[in-house]
Amino acid sequence: MIPLHRSAEVTAAQAAGTPVVALESTIITHGMPYPQNLEVARLVEADVRAAGATPATIAVIDGNLHIGLEDAQLVALAQASGVAKLSRADMAACIATGGTGATTVAATMIAAHLAGIAVFATGGIGGVHKGAEDSFDISADLLELAQTPVTVVAAGAKAILDVPKTLEVLETHGVPVITYRQDSFPAFWSSTSPLQSPLRMDDPAQIAAAHKTRALLGLPGGQLVANPIPAQDEIPAADLAPIIARAQADADQQGISGKAVTPFLLQRIFELTEGRSLTANIALVRNNAQLASKISAALLP
C-alpha cells in the first residue's frame, strides 16, 4: 500500500479512536487568494476541533500523500503556485512523479478511505455541467461517490451545474442523497431549491447508521449528505439565476472547457456578486465541517 503521511494530530486521534474528518485542499489552492485561503483553512479546521473531531486536510506534497497537514505545510500550500488539481485520473501520476497537488472531492475520498477516515466535509460536489448532453462534461465526483465508501457532507451540488441531471446520475449509480433537516434539496449558495430531496434525515446518528448499514449490506460507495447553508448566510436563488446564466455565457464565449470551467465560473460569479458568493461559500463550508464532525462522532463504536 502507498505510504500515508499522517499529521501528528491525526496519528494521535486515530490511535485514541476519536473522530476524524477529512477536508479537501483545492479550496486552498484554487478557491481563493492568499492569505484569505490560509485564514479560511484554519477556520474550518478550528470548526472541526470545536465540534469534537480532528481535521485531516489532505494533499499531495512533493509526491507524498498527506493525511492532515502541519501548520507549516498548510502555510506553504496556501502560498504555492502551479499546484495541480487532482482527481481520480491524475492522482497516481502526481504521486509517482513527485508532484504537488490539491485534492478535489474524488481524490479526497480516495485518500480518506485509504487512511480509514469515513467522513469528509467539503463545500459542494461536482456534477453534470450544463450542456453535458453535448460536451459529456460530468465530474468524477459522482462516480467516486458510487464506489468509495465515504460519507460526504456538502451544501448540495455547485449551483453552476445542471442539478436535476446530477441527481439523476447519482440515483442511477445507487448513491444515497440525504438532505439534513429539510425536504428541499439545497442549491449550494441558496438553502433551498424546487427539487425534492431523495431522502431526509434529521439526526447525525441516523446518517451514521445509514453509512454502517450500507457496509453491512455489502453495497459499494458512499453517501452524499446535503447540508443547507444557514439561512442568514444564503444568497436567494432568484438573485443568483441571472448571474449564473451570464457567467455561463461568458465561459461559452471564451471557449472555456474541461477542468477550467468550474474555477472560471466561480471566479466570474464572485465578480458579479461583488464577493457575496465567496462569503456564502465560506459560511457553508464551515457549517458542513460542523455537521461532518457530529456524524464522525456518531460512527464510533
Q: How many CB atoms lie within 10 A of CB 274?
A: 9
List Cβ neighbours of 216 (8 Å cut-off, separation of 6 or more). Answer: none
Active-site annotation holds for 294: no
Locate 251 and state its grid cell: 465561459
Given 45, 85, 130, 158, which residue is catalytic?
Answer: 158
Query: How many residues belong to the chain?
Result: 301
Sign of CA dihedral 129, 269, 88, 166: negative
Between CA 157 and CA 139 the distance in angstroms is 11
Q: How many CB atoms lie within 10 A of CB 115?
A: 20
Give the DSSP letter string of 136-202. --B-HHHHHHHHS--EEEESSB-TTB-HHHHHHHHHHTT--EEEES-SBPPBTTBS--SSBPSEEE-
Q: How many CB atoms lie within 10 A of CB 171?
A: 12
**C-alpha pair distances (Å), 230 with each of 222, 225, 286:** 25, 15, 10
Q: Is-contact 226 195, C-beta < 8 A?
A: no
Please identify which residue in the block is written with the cell numbers 491524475. 90
**C-alpha pair distances (Å), 253 with each of 64, 68, 160, 256, 257:** 39, 40, 16, 8, 11
Given 24, 45, 144, 234, which residue is catalytic?
Answer: 24
Q: Round to the nearest angstrom and report the end-to-end CA distance of the chain.
A: 26
Please identify which residue in the block is written with the cell numbers 431549491. 193
Active-site annotation holds for 259: no
Query: Hey, which residues are catalytic here?
Result: 24, 158
